[in-house]
Chains A and B, each alone.
Chain A
Amino acid sequence: MDKKNSGNHRLLLELDHVSVGFPIGKREISVVTREVSFQVCEGEALGIVGESGSGKSVSMLAALGLLGNGGHVVSGNIRFYPEKEQCLVLNQFTEKQLCEIRGDDISMIFQEPMTSLNPVMTIGQQVEEMLVLHGNCPKEERRSKVLSMLSEAGLPDTEAMYGKYPHELSGGMRQRVMIAMAMICRPKLLIADEPTTALDVTIQAKILKLLKKFQKQYGTTIILISHDLGVIRNVCSRAVVMCAGEVVEQGNVETLFENPEKEYTKRLLAAALGKGGILRRENAPQENIIVKARDYSVYYEEREEQLFRQDETVKQEEEAEKVENQKSELEQTIEPKEIQNNLSKKAEIQKENRQESESELEQPIEPKEIQNNLSKKAESQKENRQESESELKQPTAQRKNQRYKIEMLKRRFRQFLSGKTKRRIVNKVSFDVYAGEIVGIVGESGCGKSTLAKAVAGLNPLTEGELYLDCKQPQMVFQDPYGSLNPSKTIGWLLTEPLRLKHCGTKEEQRKAVEQMLEKVGLGKEYYHRYPNTLSGGQRQRVAIAMAIMLKQKLIVLDEPVSALDVTVQEQILILLVELQKEFGLSYLFISHDMNVIHRICDRVFVMYQGEIVEKGNTDAVFENPQHEYTKKLLSARL
């Protein structure tokens, strides 16, 4: 861990018993934070930790008057000391006065780099706007100033970058743009609100490094808001722990993390640092294979100009790294060159693959992919035999050829009309999953792990290669518990739906089964008539899990099931999953980007990188002795 700059003890910002409230109706005010007090000294990095809804962002947004919806400081004062002997009480400022402070003395970066930039303005315009608003930078010098700031923030090819639009950049790059924008006026205070939460771990580390660089170089004070204790620990010297709108504990990061006083901090720490203990069993059974994939590829049809792909993200990040290496001699963790070489090689291979997959389009592709599961096959074996016999009698080759040609023409025509192309996302992977096993698939966004998961669950028909399933169609649990439940149906309706579709039992029996299931997932019968919007994220995820195991399928595919949840809720869901697995003898295909979670719950782990499984093995073996460079990189990025 790096040495932290703890500042020179001149007070910069002070929150003095600040309560923030939002108006409800005309008279009432709902107070969301109560009596929050803490101080930040010049040059230091302060962390604010807490779960969602703990009010950690609210106080900072209140300081800048950015709350919206009529939110304001109800009592207490927020004092800002930009110079010695100068004290500004921010909560008494008018909008106009605040506009002068914002961006100039205090600037902010936000969580969602994907949406925080204006989509119709170029990067250059957006960064330059800061210079137009603040400071007296003459017009001619603005452009060059912007360019040098962009390169300071580690953005490659700044001239081209100036004219690019946000959607042309990866998440990491956009966050760099946000940082460049926030830093160009050399603010005294930089408030970073979950700056890395939406980013992949390896990119996360780089962004934090950049923040630390600026802190050191320009003596900028940083307030880092995060739910991630690892991030706080990496950057900050002091931290404030918040819960339900109040400050629970504050102090030095080291002491706070080593010897937390309050129960809440202890729980948060235990959950966050993966100290929650291993949930998986010692010896997972490896007898009956339930999923068997051989040279299995998955394709996506997409518009030509679609969202960001991992290979491009990797390319951009590599370039950024080069720029940074040239630019700053400050605190470099020298990475083995092998990784770099390996990565760029990978990128090249990936490119070839893409070309390959494009050219393959012109070759005949098995139209009916072997998606049939074994049990179905058993059922329809007779039919199949008859079919294959009759097929054998005909000179099929020629016929097939003809059919493929027509198929290809049709496909090309469709492509022309829709402007869509088929791209290979998962590239010839082979793996087995045993019955009763929890297998983790880990990798960064865009590596194809979700695509693979959906294909295994039968939700993506564009596949190639072999996949055998020794079970009925697997069910899926998705990441977003808010978006994946139909808001207009009751929980009971949602849970009986799979039973209705498969005609299982009478109405009364269905109801009973659902109520039992609700008890099993820890919700209770009374939830039968509730609607999804009345449930918390964790409760919704319980419903989603109940829905998936309703039909007693043996294989459940979980796509980032706990990523959208707070750490303490994560914990509960993980425990529930393990319990259910034991009780019903389920197998899980558990997709996650979170190495800690994978480590705790999975028997075996597959590491995916750019559409391929680059490493697989027992979890302990992979974590203790990673073989592939990418796995090492992932593990080292774990904070």
Chain B
Amino acid sequence: MRYYVKKIVSLIMVLFLIMLLTFIAFQVIPGDGAISRLGVDATDEEVEALREALGLNRSLPERFFSFLGGAVHGDFGKSYQYSKPVSELLTARLPATVGLAAISIILILVISVPLGLLCSRKEGGAADRAVTILTQTLMAVPAFFLGIIITLVFGLILKWFQIGGYIDPKVNFTGFLQYMIFPAAAVAVPKIAMTVKFLKTSVLRELKLDYVRTARSKGNTERVVLWRHVLKNALIPVITFMGMVIADVLAGSIVIEQVFNLPGVGRLLVVAIGNRDYPVVEAVVVYIAAVVLIVNFIVDLLYQKVDPRVRMR
């Protein structure tokens, strides 16, 4: 129990720190939201009036705590650019981003686990060598480049999907999936390559341990030994690794959203930075940080679920 309390307390502390850092970062960066909105030709009076309206003339701590207070309620203020509440903008963009990440993660899990086991079972065999070469190559390819190639091959040549298209999941969920599978593949493939390699190493390490011999001496077939005995043990380090991969997927999808022209949070962020739309930028950064932290928190819990040795009373 104390363990969970500790975890949650540190989670909150880290979130607070991130908000503080994000806030300070945008105070340090030269440039003023009011000027960027009004243009350089605006008179001092106009700028001053807008600063007053936006609350930019208040003291730093005052502004930080009002930002913090708002953030706790999910209120990040109004976008300078769209004059809409930031939370509203964010909610509108969430389905594309979350969908992209979720599909990528599912792809990673569904493909890399069987592939990793296959490679370690037939180590040195033809399948293993083919997969190893493929993973080595794909690991080195950046997601955006893969995205471009996928667009070229499946979009332009094969015409399996319409480039730049997007279907709202509320309108047509299967259509949404059909569109998302391509960008998700672009995000997932390099990560799959990494996960396969990592899992393979882990399984091979486990296979040398004594309990595997015991499992074999009981009369288990090799397949059962792998799936029932080894996999769970081998997944323990992989889970930690997956925590990092998932955080990476979230970051990677920002770029992929550009390539596939998806209306996600990533694109919102890029546009907002260009326009010095600080409330939006702050909100997106805090959102991403929070997701990464929460994912890692879940990974920690999962870790305990899988490995009884680290379970706390």
Contacts and interface: CB of A to CB of B under 8 A. Distances in A.
A96 to B, nearest CB: 7
A101 B217 CA distance: 9
B308 A130 contact: no
Given A119-B309, A120-B308, A305-B313, A102 B219 contact: yes
A186 interface: no
A485 interface: no
A134 B219 CA distance: 8
A103 B219 contact: yes
B216 A102 contact: yes
B211 A119 contact: yes
B210 A130 contact: no
B221 A99 contact: yes
Interface in A95-135: 95-96, 99-104, 107-108, 110, 112, 115-121, 129-130, 133-134
B46 interface: no
A117 B213 CA distance: 9
B216 A66 contact: yes
A469 interface: no
Contacts of A112: 210
Nearest to A108: B217
Contacts of A133: 218-220
B308 A118 contact: no
Nearest to A129: B218
A216 interface: no
A438 interface: no
B233 interface: yes
B210 A120 contact: no
A531 interface: no
B306 interface: yes
A636 B69 CA distance: 73
B217 A107 contact: yes
A110 B218 CA distance: 12
Given A110-B213, A119-B211, A305-B313, A101 B308 contact: no
Interface string A166-195: 010000000000100100000000000000
B233 A305 contact: no
Contacts of A110: 210, 213-214, 217
Given A110-B213, A112-B210, A167-B309, A119 B218 contact: no
B59 to A, nearest CB: 34
B72 interface: no
Contacts, number: 76
B29 interface: no
Given A103-B219, A165-B308, A115 B210 contact: yes
B52 to A, nearest CB: 46
Contacts of B51: none
Contacts of B308: 119-120, 165, 167
A117 B211 contact: yes
Contact of B215 (A118, A305, A419): A118
B239 to A, nearest CB: 12
A116 B210 contact: yes
Nearest to A114: B210
A578 B283 CA distance: 74
Nearest to A118: B211
B216 A116 contact: no
B168 interface: no
A104 B219 contact: yes
Nearest to B308: A165
Contact of B219 (A101, A116, A167): A101
Interface centre among B215, B217, B220, B229, by most A CB within 10 Å? B217
A64 interface: yes
B48 interface: no
Interface string B274-313: 0000000000000000000000000000000011110011
Interface centre among B216, B219, B222, B308, by most A CB within 10 Å? B219
Nearest to B313: A305
B158 interface: no
Interface centre among B214, B220, B309, by most A CB within 10 Å? B214
Contacts of B313: 305
A600 to B, nearest CB: 32
B213 A165 contact: no
Contacts of B229: 118, 121
Contacts of B220: 99, 129, 133
Contacts of A101: 219
Contact of A120 (B216, B222, B233, B312): B233
Contacts of A129: 218, 220
Given A110-B210, A305-B313, A102 B221 contact: no
Interface of B: 3, 209-211, 213-222, 229, 232-233, 236, 306-309, 312-313
30 contacts: A66-B213, A66-B217, A68-B213, A95-B221, A101-B219, A102-B219, A104-B219, A107-B218, A110-B214, A116-B211, A116-B213, A117-B214, A118-B211, A118-B233, A119-B211, A119-B309, A120-B233, A120-B306, A120-B307, A120-B308, A121-B229, A121-B232, A129-B218, A130-B218, A165-B309, A167-B309, A178-B214, A181-B214, A304-B312, A305-B312
Interface of A: 64, 66, 68, 95-96, 99-104, 107-108, 110, 112, 115-121, 129-130, 133-134, 165, 167, 178, 181, 304-305, 419
Given A103-B218, A104-B219, A304-B312, 17 more contacts: A64-B217, A96-B221, A102-B217, A103-B217, A107-B218, A108-B217, A112-B210, A115-B209, A115-B211, A116-B211, A118-B214, A118-B215, A118-B233, A119-B233, A119-B308, A120-B306, A130-B218
Closest 6 CB pairs of A and B: A103-B219, A102-B219, A103-B218, A115-B210, A165-B308, A108-B217
